[in-house]
Amino acid sequence: MISDLDFYKNKLKEEETRLEKELSTLAIRNPEHPEDWQPTTPELNPQLSDDSELADKFEEFDTQFGIETALEERLIGVKKALKRVAEGTYGKCEKCHEVIDPKRLNANPAAITCLKHADTE
């Protein structure tokens, strides 16, 4: 059992709130699946836009989509770690059940594997 569990739990909670706030500016929550976020599409007006303007819009959407996906993935990781806090398995590697180095948890409170198994996350 990890000693400063509350410290990490608070860090994770803070990050969860921050990520959800950021996501809400880029995407909307799927009403049927609250865990699923759908990126909002920028306004497209093909009548008024010339081709290059339209291309810019698509590029903007592409970038936004990339950011949205990264934030969503991060949020899933944070939620997974919070679930492990609730289950009492937080701070232990998902693969080998060894205690995760606190330095690693400080750098990334959402880490659920030890350094050795970091690549398999």
Q: Where do contacts with Zn ion occur on this chain (CB under 5 A)?
A: 93, 95-96, 114, 117
| Position with the least CB separation from Zn ion | 93
Cβ proximity to Zn ion: between 55 and 96 the closer is 96
Name the minimum Å distance from CB 113 to Zn ion.
5
Cβ proximity to Zn ion: between 51 and 87 the closer is 87
Distances in whole angstroms, Cα of residue 52 to Cα of each of 12, 23, 46, 57? 42, 28, 11, 9
Name the minimum Å distance from CB 95 to Zn ion.
4
Burial label for 109, CB within 10 Å (0-12, 13-18, 19+), is buried
Per the CB < 8 A criterion, the answer to whether 65 and 37 are in contact is no
Name the minimum Å distance from CB 96 to Zn ion.
3
